[in-house]
A and B are shown apart, each in its own frame.
Chain A
C-alpha cells in the first residue's frame, strides 16, 4: 500500500471516528433507540467512491472498533457492526454504478439496510420478535438521515475532493 493512500485512509478513519464521537455527545433527536443522524456515513460514502471496496471496508471496521473503545460501549458494537455490514452490502454495488451526484440514493438505501441489520440483531439478542415494529420508524428516520449524509458526501466529493 502506498504511503499517500495509507495516510488518506488513516485521515478518513480519524475523521469518521471524530464525527462518530461528537454525534454520541449530542442529545437524542427522537426518543427512539437507534434513531441517529449517522454522520460518519459521509466518510463511508466517500471511501466507497475514492478507494477499492477492501479499503473502504477497512476504514469502516477500524472506525467501528475504535468507536467502541472511545464510546466505551461494546454492546453497541454488535448492533453497529450488523448495521454497517448490511449497509455496506447495499452501498458497495450501488457506488459502482451510480455517479457521485446520485450518492444520496445509495446513502438512503444503505441507511435502510443499516436499520434492517440493527433490528435483526436486536430481535436475536433480546429474543423479542415484536421489536420488528421499530423497523418502519427507524427506516423513516434512516431515509431522512441518509438523504442528508448522501448530499453532504456528494457535495464534499464533487466540490472538494474531485477538484
Chain B
C-alpha cells in the first residue's frame, strides 16, 4: 500500500514537472507584436506602439494602490520605477513574450502585447 502511494506520487511529480517544463518552453518562445496595452485594475489605460524611436516615452500609472512609471524606448516596454514593496515588476525587464505579461500584482497592473486586429482571424476567405 505504502509503496503504491510512493510510486503514484513519483508519477504525479514527474507529470507535473514535464507539463510545467513544456508549458514554460512554449510560453517563453512566443514573440510579441507591434503594439502594447497597459491594463490597470482590469481597465486598459494606455495602448500604443511597443517601441519608441528616439526619445523614450514615459507613461505614469497612478492609482490609489501606488505608482508605476512605464518606459517605452527603442528596445521595448518596461517598468522604469514603482513604489510597490517587491519591485518585481521593475526587475522583470522588457516585455518579450506575447504570453508572459509584465505584472505588478500589488498595484494590479498588467503590461501586455495588444492583439492586432487580424490576429485569430483567417488569413484569407475564398468564395
Contact = CB atoms under 8 A, between A and B. Distances in A.
B57 interface: no
Given A97-B5, A136-B27, A130 B112 contact: yes
Interface in A43-72: 71-72
A137 B85 contact: no
B65 A75 contact: yes
Given A31-B93, A108-B13, A127-B41, A137 B100 contact: yes
A33 B6 contact: no
Chain A interface bracket (under 10, 10 to 19, 20 to 34, 35 or more): 35 or more
Interface string B3-34: 00110011011001101111110111000000
Interface residues of B, number: 39
B91 A105 contact: no
Contact of B9 (A72, A102, A122): A102
B24 A137 contact: yes
Interface of A: 28, 31-34, 71-73, 75-76, 79, 94, 97-99, 102, 105-106, 108-109, 112, 122, 125-128, 130-131, 133-137, 139-140, 142-143
Contact of A33 (B5, B12, B26, B86): B86
